[in-house]
Amino acid sequence: MKAILLFVFTFIVSSCCGTNKAIVYQSQQTKEIVAATELPDTIETAAIRETLQSPKESNSIKISLGEDGTESDDGVSITTEIIYTEAFDHSIFNALLKKHVSENGHVDYKGFKSDAKSLQNYIALLKTYQPKDSWSKEDKLAYWINAYNALTIDLILRNYPTKSIKDIKNPWDQRLWQFGDKWLNLNAIEHDILRNMDEPRIHFAIVCASVSCPTLQNDAFIASNLEAQLTNATKEFLADSSKNEISQNNLRLSKIFKWFKKDFEQNGSLIDFLNQYTTVAISESAEKSYKDYNWDLND
C-alpha cells in the first residue's frame, strides 16, 4: 500500500519590513530550510526552522492495516503513515513555552515580558485565523486551550509585577482581545466555548496563573497529540499531592472538582472519572473534602 503524503505549512514571519506570508510545499522544503536559516534569530524563526527540519516528527501517525484495509494490531500487517496537518500552527507559542516555562510549571513572566512581541504575534495569529466549522474537534480544542493560556499570560504581563491574578480587577471578565467582531474575555473562552465541548480534561490544560492551578505545560497543545496531552495533564494533576491527596477511602481534592463537579459527571460519578486517571482504586463511598486554593502567582 502506498501512502500519499502532502506537507503544507503556512508561517507568518515578522520582519522590519512588515509581515511576510510563506507557503511551503514538500518539493521546496530544502530550499525553504536554507532561507529560514538566514532569518534573524527570533522565537518565530526558531519555531519555523524546527518545523521545517522535522515535519514528520510533529505530525506523523503510524497505523497498521490488515489485508482488508482495516486497522490491525498484529505484526504481519502492512504499516502506512498518515501525515496529520494541523489546522493551526502553534509553533510560536510552543517555542515561548519551551523558553519560559520550567518542567514543573514555574513561569518566568519577566522572560515572557522580554519576548512580549512574539507573544503578541501569536495572539494576532489567533485573532486572524479563528476555528472554522470544518476543523476537527481536536483542532478546535487545541486552539482554544492555547488561546486561553496565551491570553492569561498576556493579562499577567499587562499588570506585571503582581503577586496574584486576583489582585487584578475583574481578571476573567476583562474584554481585552478582539476576535472578529467579538471582544472576548477568559470567562467566555472557558465557560461558553471550552466547557461546551464535552471534554472535562480541559480543566487540567487551561491554567489561571496560580499555584493551585494545574501545571502550565511547556508544550503547546496540538490536535495530533491532544489525547495523550490531556491524559498526561490529568494524571499529573491528580498525582500532585500538593493539589490532591488520594487514597482508597479518603479524598482531599482540588476545588476544581467542586466548582466544576457537573463536568466530571457526564459519564458516571466523580469517582468513576478519577479512577480512570489514578493508580489508586478509589471506593465509591470514599469521603471527600476540598483543599484551600492558593491564588499566588505560579512564578
- Residue spans of the domains in the chain: they are 8-83, 91-290
Q: Which of 174, 173, 156 is nearest to 213 (CA)?
A: 156
Q: Which of 162, 164, 154 is nearest to 184 (CA)?
A: 154
For residue 218, which phi and psi values (nearest 5 degrees)? Answer: -95, 25
Query: Amino acid identity of 170?
Result: N
The grid cell for 95 is: 517555542
| pLDDT at res. 7 | 38
Give the range among 41-50, 54-63, 83-92, 246-255 with minimum mean pLDDT.
54-63
| pLDDT at res. 85 | 86
Q: For every residue of 2-40, which 3-state class applies, written as one string?
A: CCCCCCEEEEEEEECCEEEEEEEEHHHHHHHHHHHHCCC
Q: First and final CA of the chain: distance in angstroms? A: 51
Name, in order, each residue with C-beta under 8 angstroms of 134's C-beta and a sequence gap of 6 or more: none
Give the range among 26-35, 37-46, 87-96, 101-110 with minimum mean pLDDT.
26-35
Which pTM does this prediction carry? 0.77
CB neighbour burial string for 56-68, b if at least 16 within 10 angstroms, e if fewer: eebbeeeeeeeee
| pLDDT at res. 119 | 97
Would the pLDDT of 252 be above 70?
Answer: yes
